[in-house]
Amino acid sequence: MIVTIDGPAGAGKSSAARSLARRLGFRFLDTGAMYRAVTLAARERGLDLTDGAQLAELADRIHVELVDDRVLLDGRDVTTAVRKFEITDAIHYAADNPAVRTQLVGWQRAAAANHDVVTEGRDQGTVVFPDAQCKIFLTADEEERARRRHADLHSRGEQIPFDEVLANQRLRDHRDRSRSVGALVKAADAIEFSTDGLTPDEVVAQLEKIVRSKQ
Protein backbone atom coordinates (compact mmCIF):
# COMPACT_ATOMS: atom_id res chain seq x y z
CA MET A 1 0.00 0.00 0.00
CA ILE A 2 1.18 3.52 -0.80
CA VAL A 3 0.25 6.38 1.54
CA THR A 4 1.15 9.85 0.26
CA ILE A 5 1.41 12.87 2.54
CA ASP A 6 1.82 16.19 0.76
CA GLY A 7 1.57 19.72 2.07
CA PRO A 8 3.40 23.00 2.66
CA ALA A 9 6.63 23.41 4.62
CA GLY A 10 6.30 23.09 8.38
CA ALA A 11 2.86 21.45 8.46
CA GLY A 12 4.44 18.65 10.49
CA LYS A 13 4.60 16.19 7.59
CA SER A 14 8.01 14.69 8.31
CA SER A 15 7.50 13.77 11.93
CA ALA A 16 3.89 12.66 11.35
CA ALA A 17 4.82 10.57 8.30
CA ARG A 18 7.79 9.00 10.07
CA SER A 19 5.71 8.01 13.13
CA LEU A 20 2.86 6.82 10.96
CA ALA A 21 5.20 4.60 8.94
CA ARG A 22 6.62 3.15 12.15
CA ARG A 23 3.14 2.36 13.50
CA LEU A 24 2.05 0.73 10.27
CA GLY A 25 5.33 -1.11 9.75
CA PHE A 26 5.74 0.67 6.39
CA ARG A 27 8.87 2.11 4.77
CA PHE A 28 9.18 5.91 5.16
CA LEU A 29 10.25 8.10 2.27
CA ASP A 30 11.35 11.67 3.04
CA THR A 31 11.46 13.05 -0.51
CA GLY A 32 12.42 16.56 0.63
CA ALA A 33 15.67 15.03 1.91
CA MET A 34 16.47 14.00 -1.68
CA TYR A 35 16.11 17.59 -2.97
CA ARG A 36 18.17 18.71 0.02
CA ALA A 37 20.94 16.17 -0.73
CA VAL A 38 21.18 17.30 -4.37
CA THR A 39 21.44 20.92 -3.20
CA LEU A 40 24.12 20.05 -0.65
CA ALA A 41 26.12 18.07 -3.22
CA ALA A 42 26.01 21.04 -5.61
CA ARG A 43 27.04 23.48 -2.88
CA GLU A 44 29.94 21.27 -1.79
CA ARG A 45 31.23 21.14 -5.36
CA GLY A 46 30.87 24.88 -5.78
CA LEU A 47 28.47 24.43 -8.71
CA ASP A 48 26.58 27.36 -10.11
CA LEU A 49 23.06 26.45 -8.97
CA THR A 50 21.52 28.56 -11.71
CA ASP A 51 23.12 26.26 -14.30
CA GLY A 52 20.24 23.82 -14.72
CA ALA A 53 22.10 21.40 -17.00
CA GLN A 54 25.02 21.02 -14.56
CA LEU A 55 22.65 20.49 -11.66
CA ALA A 56 20.74 17.80 -13.55
CA GLU A 57 23.98 16.11 -14.55
CA LEU A 58 25.08 16.11 -10.91
CA ALA A 59 21.78 14.53 -9.79
CA ASP A 60 22.42 11.80 -12.33
CA ARG A 61 25.88 11.04 -10.88
CA ILE A 62 25.33 11.11 -7.10
CA HIS A 63 23.88 8.35 -5.00
CA VAL A 64 21.36 9.33 -2.32
CA GLU A 65 20.00 6.76 0.12
CA LEU A 66 17.50 7.09 2.95
CA VAL A 67 18.39 4.51 5.58
CA ASP A 68 16.67 4.38 8.99
CA ASP A 69 16.03 8.14 9.25
CA ARG A 70 19.54 8.87 7.93
CA VAL A 71 20.35 10.60 4.66
CA LEU A 72 23.41 9.19 2.91
CA LEU A 73 25.09 11.10 0.09
CA ASP A 74 27.48 8.78 -1.74
CA GLY A 75 27.64 6.70 1.46
CA ARG A 76 28.35 9.69 3.75
CA ASP A 77 25.91 10.65 6.51
CA VAL A 78 24.57 14.14 5.71
CA THR A 79 21.41 13.98 7.85
CA THR A 80 22.26 17.14 9.81
CA ALA A 81 23.94 19.04 6.98
CA VAL A 82 20.92 18.82 4.64
CA ARG A 83 18.64 20.50 7.18
CA LYS A 84 20.71 23.67 7.49
CA PHE A 85 18.94 26.94 6.74
CA GLU A 86 21.45 27.72 3.99
CA ILE A 87 20.43 24.54 2.13
CA THR A 88 16.71 25.16 2.64
CA ASP A 89 17.19 28.65 1.25
CA ALA A 90 18.85 27.34 -1.96
CA ILE A 91 16.65 24.29 -2.53
CA HIS A 92 14.44 25.93 -5.15
CA TYR A 93 17.15 25.56 -7.81
CA ALA A 94 16.90 21.76 -7.60
CA ALA A 95 13.14 21.72 -6.96
CA ASP A 96 12.39 23.99 -9.95
CA ASN A 97 14.60 21.98 -12.32
CA PRO A 98 12.42 19.62 -14.45
CA ALA A 99 15.32 17.25 -15.25
CA VAL A 100 16.27 16.99 -11.56
CA ARG A 101 12.62 16.33 -10.70
CA THR A 102 12.39 13.55 -13.29
CA GLN A 103 15.49 11.95 -11.82
CA LEU A 104 14.19 12.14 -8.25
CA VAL A 105 10.75 10.86 -9.21
CA GLY A 106 12.62 7.79 -10.50
CA TRP A 107 14.48 7.40 -7.19
CA GLN A 108 11.18 7.69 -5.30
CA ARG A 109 9.37 5.09 -7.38
CA ALA A 110 12.34 2.73 -7.13
CA ALA A 111 12.45 3.11 -3.34
CA ALA A 112 8.73 2.30 -3.12
CA ALA A 113 8.74 -0.64 -5.54
CA ASN A 114 7.37 -3.79 -3.89
CA HIS A 115 7.06 -2.10 -0.49
CA ASP A 116 4.36 -0.65 1.68
CA VAL A 117 5.35 3.00 2.06
CA VAL A 118 4.42 6.28 3.63
CA THR A 119 5.91 8.91 1.36
CA GLU A 120 6.06 12.59 2.13
CA GLY A 121 6.66 15.65 -0.06
CA ARG A 122 4.84 18.05 -2.37
CA ASP A 123 3.98 16.00 -5.46
CA GLN A 124 3.65 12.48 -4.12
CA GLY A 125 -0.12 12.09 -4.56
CA THR A 126 -0.26 14.05 -7.81
CA VAL A 127 2.82 13.21 -9.91
CA VAL A 128 4.83 10.41 -8.32
CA PHE A 129 2.10 8.04 -7.09
CA PRO A 130 -1.16 9.15 -8.73
CA ASP A 131 -2.67 5.70 -8.03
CA ALA A 132 -1.82 5.65 -4.30
CA GLN A 133 -4.58 4.05 -2.21
CA CYS A 134 -4.44 6.72 0.48
CA LYS A 135 -3.60 10.38 -0.10
CA ILE A 136 -3.40 12.97 2.65
CA PHE A 137 -2.87 16.72 2.26
CA LEU A 138 -1.51 18.08 5.53
CA THR A 139 -1.88 21.77 6.34
CA ALA A 140 -1.46 24.13 9.30
CA ASP A 141 -1.73 27.83 10.01
CA GLU A 142 1.15 29.77 8.40
CA GLU A 143 2.46 31.38 11.61
CA GLU A 144 2.21 28.10 13.48
CA ARG A 145 4.29 26.41 10.78
CA ALA A 146 6.93 29.15 10.96
CA ARG A 147 7.02 28.88 14.76
CA ARG A 148 7.70 25.13 14.48
CA ARG A 149 10.44 25.66 11.87
CA HIS A 150 11.99 28.42 14.01
CA ALA A 151 12.02 26.19 17.11
CA ASP A 152 13.45 23.32 15.07
CA LEU A 153 16.31 25.47 13.73
CA HIS A 154 16.93 26.87 17.22
CA SER A 155 17.20 23.34 18.66
CA ARG A 156 19.87 22.67 16.02
CA GLY A 157 21.86 25.74 17.07
CA GLU A 158 20.79 27.97 14.17
CA GLN A 159 19.69 31.35 15.53
CA ILE A 160 17.61 32.67 12.62
CA PRO A 161 15.19 35.51 13.50
CA PHE A 162 11.52 34.45 13.42
CA ASP A 163 10.64 37.07 10.79
CA GLU A 164 13.30 35.67 8.48
CA VAL A 165 12.01 32.12 8.94
CA LEU A 166 8.46 33.33 8.17
CA ALA A 167 9.57 35.29 5.10
CA ASN A 168 11.61 32.34 3.82
CA GLN A 169 8.63 30.02 4.34
CA ARG A 170 6.26 32.37 2.45
CA LEU A 171 8.69 32.47 -0.45
CA ARG A 172 9.11 28.69 -0.42
CA ASP A 173 5.31 28.15 -0.26
CA HIS A 174 4.87 30.48 -3.20
CA ARG A 175 7.58 28.73 -5.22
CA ASP A 176 6.27 25.28 -4.25
CA ARG A 177 2.76 26.22 -5.40
CA SER A 178 3.70 27.93 -8.62
CA ARG A 179 6.44 25.78 -10.21
CA SER A 180 5.63 24.43 -13.65
CA VAL A 181 6.31 20.78 -12.76
CA GLY A 182 5.62 19.00 -9.47
CA ALA A 183 3.82 21.98 -7.96
CA LEU A 184 2.33 21.71 -4.50
CA VAL A 185 -1.35 21.11 -5.10
CA LYS A 186 -3.90 18.93 -3.34
CA ALA A 187 -4.76 15.86 -5.39
CA ALA A 188 -8.46 15.71 -6.22
CA ASP A 189 -8.77 12.46 -4.23
CA ALA A 190 -6.64 13.55 -1.24
CA ILE A 191 -8.07 14.04 2.23
CA GLU A 192 -7.16 17.46 3.61
CA PHE A 193 -6.15 17.41 7.25
CA SER A 194 -5.16 20.38 9.42
CA THR A 195 -2.74 19.81 12.29
CA ASP A 196 -3.70 23.08 14.02
CA GLY A 197 -4.20 22.66 17.75
CA LEU A 198 -3.34 18.96 17.73
CA THR A 199 -0.39 17.31 19.48
CA PRO A 200 1.94 15.20 17.32
CA ASP A 201 0.46 12.05 18.89
CA GLU A 202 -3.09 13.17 18.07
CA VAL A 203 -2.07 13.87 14.47
CA VAL A 204 -0.55 10.41 14.01
CA ALA A 205 -3.55 8.71 15.64
CA GLN A 206 -5.93 10.52 13.24
CA LEU A 207 -3.76 9.73 10.23
CA GLU A 208 -3.60 6.08 11.21
CA LYS A 209 -7.43 6.00 11.35
CA ILE A 210 -7.59 7.46 7.84
CA VAL A 211 -5.12 4.88 6.48
CA ARG A 212 -6.86 1.95 8.22
CA SER A 213 -10.17 3.05 6.70
CA LYS A 214 -8.59 2.66 3.23
CA GLN A 215 -6.94 -0.74 3.82
Residues that bind ligand C5P (CB under 6 A): 9, 31-32, 35-36, 91, 95, 121-123, 172, 176, 182
Q: What is the 3-state secondary structure (H, E, C) of 170-185?
A: HHHHHHHHHCCCCCCC
Nearer to ligand C5P, 2 or 9 (CB): 9
Query: Looking at beta carbons only, is 44 or 215 nearer to ligand C5P?
Result: 44
Tell me which DSSP letter residue 83 carries: G
Q: Which is nearer to ligand C5P, 86 or 212 (CB)?
A: 86
Please classify residue 48 by burial: count the beta carbons closer than 10 Å to its beta carbon, then call 0-12 exposed, 13-18 middle and 19+ buried.
exposed
Q: Which is nearer to ligand C5P, 91 or 166 (CB)?
A: 91
In whole angstroms, give the CA distance from residue 50 to residue 98.
13
Give whichever of 140 and 176 is closer to ligand C5P, judged by the CB atom. Answer: 176
**Pick from 113, 110, 116, 120: which is nearest to 18 by CA?**
120
Query: At CA 118, angle to CA 144 and CA 132, rounded to 5?
Result: 110
Least separation in angstroms between residue 184's CB and ligand C5P is 8
Rounded to a whole number of angstroms, the minimum distance from the CB of residue 91 to ligand C5P is 5
Smallest distance from ligand C5P to CB 128, Å: 7
H helices within the chain, ranges in order? 13-24, 31-44, 52-61, 85-90, 92-95, 98-112, 142-155, 162-178, 200-214
Q: How far is the CB of 1 from ligand C5P (least distance, A)?
A: 19
Q: Which is nearer to ligand C5P, 91 or 117 (CB)?
A: 91
CA angle 48, 70, 74 (to 5 degrees): 45
For the bound state, the minimum distance from the C-beta of residue 180 to ligand C5P, rounded and expressed in Å, comes to 12
CB of 121 to ligand C5P, least distance (A): 3
